[in-house]
Amino acid sequence: MRAVLAKHKITRGVSPEKLRLILEDLGPTYIKLGQIMSLHSDILPKAYCDELMKLNSEVTPMPFEAVLRVIEQSYGISWQEVFRFIDEKALGSASIAQVHRAQLLDGKDVIVKVEREGIYDLMSRDIALLHKAVKFLPPVGDLKNLVDLDMILDEMWSVAQEEMDFLKEAANMEEFAKNHTDVAYVYVPKLYKKYTTSHVLVMEYIRGIPIDDAETLESQGYDLNEIGRKFVNSFIQQVMEDGFFHADPHPGNVRIRAGKIVWLDMGMMGRLSERDRKIMVRGVEGIALHDTQLVTNAVLDLCDFWGEPDRDRLYDDIKLFLEKYGTTAMGKINIADTMQALMEIMKANKLAIPHGMTMLARGFAHIEGVLSKIAPDINMVDIAALRVQDSFLGRIDFREEAGKILRSTWRAIHKGPEIPSMTAEIMSEYLKGRA
């Protein structure tokens, strides 16, 4: 590590680009840590998160002999008792695993994902080293003064451990597939559970077209706007209805085959509880109504506190936020930018954002990046609004809503005899859906 730091002349802090280059030079463990850090726009300056998203995850593949060794140690039998052949050349090699084309004994074409030999022990040692070294790291923005870096390292290690357990990824695939059983335009590769272990995952081989390859898609007769709409609809369903979403929907993980959107690589998934989803809907409602207090309350309900929040400052910050975004035409809103601006406010007010929300912001950024390449005229907000509206109307308890209106009316009557004021409050409460 000292040699790498010396190479990059670390003396008075680390710029975003320099941090990325350092992590790439340090190898697989640090690349993975950097990728996880890029999700933390709640605590890391946006410039660093944006740069870390560029981390080159392609690393030198481990020797084929090591691939076979991991497979056989995991299965307890010869690899030839499961596969007819395994391509020696890796299709891709990342920090935790690499993938190879293969064929089962029955002739089915599959992908074999194999964990890097010794990666768990290597990452465990590196994390322990970082815990010791973190006190001596040069400053990165205000990061050291804002949070407990040891706590962040613990979270990173927890996430990395989940990614190293392919049984967890297999369970993610099954849950994701179940959620999309009735969605005709979404496809999840078949999982060969019989041949999947903690260190080896086997799934159907997909030959599809990367979703951002507009030229190839058009040459094969696809309607790019239709693909864009389906892509957004699928993601909005994952977020607002399932509460279980693909947290890394970059073009390499989403393909088009036979008119369907194929979702790949379920190693990094995000979750939003029903409570968090309801709070987020309230926040969106507050933005739409230009209601500073409603948005402020939603933010406070959603976040944990690093310290006692300054509610007046938060209110003022959100008021300025609404002055910028609350009057933007629906079709011109950029969800990723809006979420990022709101998270900057949370960070400035020392509010801890749920991990699911930071992953969601990253997901929206990828989605909008794909749309800019294949269907730039499609706005995610328009589609999301219709989807949320349909979902919301389907869940309304009209008896409860009627009760809210009656309670609002009763309160308004007792606040004074002025009819205009009473009417204004009733209408305000009705529009907000609040009692």
Q: What is the pTM of this model?
A: 0.80
Cα(119)–Cα(423) distance, integer angstroms: 65
Neighbours of 218 (CB within 10 A): 12
Q: Is 58 helix (H, G, I), strand (E, B) or coil?
A: coil
Cα(48)–Cα(37) distance, integer angstroms: 9
**Domain coordinates in residue numbering, the chain:** 2-57+124-153, 64-117+165-267, 271-395, 398-432
Q: Active-site residue 301, yes or no?
A: no
Q: How many CA atoms lie within 13 Å of 354's alpha carbon, on the beta-carbon side?
A: 18
Q: Counting every residue, how long is the chain?
A: 435
* Token pair of 327 as six digits: 């009057």
* Token pair of 354 as six digits: 């749920």
Q: Residue 22: which pLDDT band, with cuts at 50, 70 and 90?
A: confident
pLDDT tens, position by position, 203-230: 999 999 999 999 999 999 999 999 999 9
The residue from 248, 265, 291, 317 that is catalytic is 248
Average pLDDT, the chain: 83
Cα(36)–Cα(49) distance, integer angstroms: 10
What confidence score (pLDDT) does residue 353 get?
A: 79
Name the more confident of 29 and 91: 91
Q: Decide the pairing of beta strands 260-263 and 186-187.
A: parallel
CA 127, 133, 135, 138 torsion: positive or negative?
negative
Burial class (CB in 10 A: 0-12, 13-18, 19+), 118: exposed
Helix spans in 290-418 (H): 292-302, 311-325, 335-348, 355-374, 380-395, 398-413
Single-letter amino acid, residue 26:
L
Cα(315)–Cα(317) distance, integer angstroms: 5
Angle at 7 between CA 29 and CA 27, to 5 degrees: 15
Q: How many CA atoms lie within 13 Å of 77's alpha carbon, on the beta-carbon side?
A: 6
Cα(317)–Cα(327) distance, integer angstroms: 16
Beta bridge partners of 262: 187, 255
Neighbours of 431 (CB within 10 A): 12
Query: Rg of the Cα trace of the chain?
Result: 24
- Name the residue with tokens 């998203």: 53
Cα(354)–Cα(362) distance, integer angstroms: 13
Q: Which CATH class is domain 64-117+165-267?
A: alpha beta
The closest of 186, 193, 188, 148 to 170, measured between CA atoms, is 193
The closest of 91, 141, 96, 131 to 112, measured between CA atoms, is 91
pLDDT tens, position by position, 307-348: 788 999 999 999 999 998 866 665 667 787 888 888 889 888
Output the DSSP codes for 274-314. Answer: HHHHHHHHHHHHHHHHT-HHHHHHHHHHH-EESS---HHHH
pLDDT tens, position by position, 266-318: 988 999 999 998 998 888 888 878 899 999 999 999 988 777 889 999 999 99
Q: Residue 65: which pLDDT band, with cuts at 50, 70 and 90?
A: very high
